[in-house]
Structure 1
Amino acid sequence: MNHNVILTCAVTGAGDTTAKSPHVPVTPKQIADDCIAAARAGASVAHIHVRDPETGTISHSVEHFREVMQRVREADVDIVMNITAGGGGDWIPDAADPTRGGPGSDIQTPRQRHEPVGELLPELCTLDCGSLNFGDMVYVNPADWLREHARLVQAAGVKPELECFDLGHVWFARQLQQEGLIDGDPLYQLCLGIPWGAEADTETLLAMRNRLPHDAHWAAFGIGRHQMPMAAQAVLLGGHARVGLEDNLYLEKGVLATNAQLVEKAASLFENLGARVMTPAETRAHLALRDPNTGHVVEKAIETTAGGAA
């Protein structure tokens, strides 16, 4: 069991959730406000996407990311910032010509995906480690794109969170490390319950965890009703956890949640298990992240959580 937990709040995502809950933040101010509220509720990390303020759909605007970052940094709270770099991979074959992307497709090059990270230099960014049948679309991320993207993240000095939606993604993330494209102890995020990737159950989580390198830090999340059970299971198996409205809209059956409420519920759950949530400062030290105020990497202060048996 992990007794010192990094708790990430994924505040908005890019999915079609704004019509399902009024609590999903859309504008840069709303997203920043939810990051701040999550910090006050006890979150260690805020994971952010941005949305088009007019439509609520996905946006890749550096200026939207910049506004969120600035508002959070100027607030009277501290939280580690984690910017998505996984947008721009959505492929839906056109019905008339399947060799072309149809409505809803959204493809960016690795350099385009990296632009907000390279300009804003958050402490963390995501690196999605493979392609996937993602519901009714295909998330496109070929190996050579991933290598290019990993080099860009490495050159920026930002720590990548290696998002793995299936067991093969863990394999390829290890390959990136073996090729020297991941610096320091790697950080994995095991993503569970998204059709048609890894299922949200203990057996799948354990199988993925057991293939991690021995020096790995890792966290996991489940979507929908699996969010809290998978958060608890991750902590019991030695990892960290993620909650938030990107992955789940409900506090309990029929009751819509806010991000702060999900953070409070998870923190209370971990406390009842005998664990505690790490502060943002402790998180930076634990993961050897760059301090946003000084620009220097924080020295480790807590022992690395062991990974699996790979």
Structure 2
Amino acid sequence: MQPKIIITCAVTGNLTTPQQYPALPVTPEEIADACLEAADAGAAIAHIHVRNPENGEPSMKLDYYREVVERIRAKNNALILNLTTGPGGRYQPSEHDPAIAGPRTTLMRPEKRVEHIVALKPDISTLDLNTMTFGREVVINTPGNVTIMADIIHSAGVKPEIEVFDTGDIQLAQDLLKSGVLKSPPMFSIVTGIKYGLPSTPDAMSVAARMLPRDAVWTGFGVGRMSFPMAVQSYLLGGHVRVGLEDNIYIAKGVPTKGNGELVERARDLIEKLGAQIAEPSEAREMLNLAA
């Protein structure tokens, strides 16, 4: 197990809706404040999506990302920022012709999905390797598109966080590492609890963790009611921890959380009671080989 545990907080995400959780951070100011709240509670990394402030819908608009980053950095230069590149890979076959995209399709060129990474140069950028059924649509991340995104992310001086949703994603990552598309030592995030991906079980997370490269630094997490059980499981298997409103809106069964800070506090309490120490952002930077 790691001597120090990095807590990541995913503060708003792509799928949680304001209808499910009315206090969900939506505006750039709310998202930035949520990241700062998570940092105060013990998170070393903030994982950031942005939304359209008018309707709460997911967005990839560069101006929203820029405002969030600037608001955080005006108050906290230590917190590690991890910007998503996940949106832009979803495809919905239309009912009359599956070769034609339906209205829920977000599929876009890989260069477009990373333009905010080039412009803002965060510490970390997610890089999803999953091609899978995801809700009512499919997510498409072909090796060619992933390669384009990885090259751009590395060229910007940003570290990819390789998100894997099933064992095939890990095999793809291994091939990309062997070919030099991805650089070592890698950073992985094992996602569990998405239907048709890895289930939120100790066995599934254990298998995925054993498949990772030996020099990988990794975080495992679960969605919904398995958020805290999988946080503990990740720690026990030698990984780090992620919580946040992207993954779970409850602090206990049937009890909505007060917010991201409370979720981080609960994760911190659980891990510290098991004997671990929580990494400060400066310590996390060293563990992840990030620039100070």
Pick the TM interval, shorter chain. over 0.9
Contact 2:5 2:279 survives alignment (8 Å): yes
Deviations 1:69-121 (A, max 9, x none): 00000114631000001110111111122111112111121100010111100
1:274 paired to 2:275: yes
Alignment of 1:90-101 (within 5 A): 90-101=90-101
CA distance in 2 between partners of 1:78 and 1:24 (Å): 24
CA distance in 2 between partners of 1:276 and 1:127 (Å): 28
- The residue aligned with 1:251 is 251
- The residue aligned with 2:204 is 204
1:170 paired to 2:193: no
Contact 1:2 1:236 survives alignment (8 Å): no
User: What one-letter code is carried by the residue in structure 2 that aligns with 1:285?
Assistant: E
CA distance in 1 between partners of 2:185 and 2:36 (Å): 28
Deviations 1:196-249 (A, max 9, x none): 111110110011011111111111110000000000000011010110000101
Task: Provide structure 1 residue ranges, at least 5 long, that are not aligned to the other structure.
Answer: 292-310
Q: Which runs of 4+ in 1 moved over 2 A?
A: none
Deviations 1:236-272 (A, max 9, x none): 1101011000010111112111100000000000000
Question: Please, what is the CA RMSD of the aligned residues?
Answer: 1.0
* SS of alignment partner, residue 161 of structure 1: strand
CA 186–76 in structure 1, closer or farther in 2 if over 3 Å, else same: closer
* SS of alignment partner, residue 26 of structure 1: coil
* SS of alignment partner, residue 210 of structure 1: helix
Q: Normalized against structure 2, the TM-score is what?
A: 0.97
- The residue aligned with 1:296 is none
CA distance in 1 between partners of 2:69 and 2:180 (Å): 30
- The residue aligned with 2:53 is 53
* SS of alignment partner, residue 127 of structure 1: strand
CA distance in 2 between partners of 1:289 and 1:108 (Å): 29
How far the C-alpha of 1:184 sits from its partner, in A, is 3.2
Alignment of 1:1-310 (within 5 A): 1-76=1-76, 78-257=78-257, 258-291=259-292
CA distance in 2 between partners of 1:249 and 1:170 (Å): 28
User: What one-letter code is carried by the residue in structure 1 that aligns with 2:247?
Assistant: D
How far the C-alpha of 1:16 sits from its partner, in A, is 4.4
User: What one-letter code is carried by the residue in structure 2 that aligns with 1:181?
Assistant: V
CA distance in 1 between partners of 2:16 and 2:283 (Å): 34
* SS of alignment partner, residue 208 of structure 1: helix
Task: Provide structure 2 residue ranges, at least 5 long, that are not aligned to the other structure.
Answer: none
Contact 1:130 1:172 survives alignment (8 Å): no
CA distance in 2 between partners of 1:242 and 1:109 (Å): 29
CA distance in 2 between partners of 1:194 and 1:76 (Å): 33
Deviations 1:144-182 (A, max 9, x none): 111111111111110000000010001111111111122
CA distance in 2 between partners of 1:63 and 1:15 (Å): 21
CA distance in 2 between partners of 1:273 and 1:3 (Å): 12
CA distance in 1 between partners of 2:173 and 2:86 (Å): 15
Give aligned-pair identity as a percent. Answer: 42
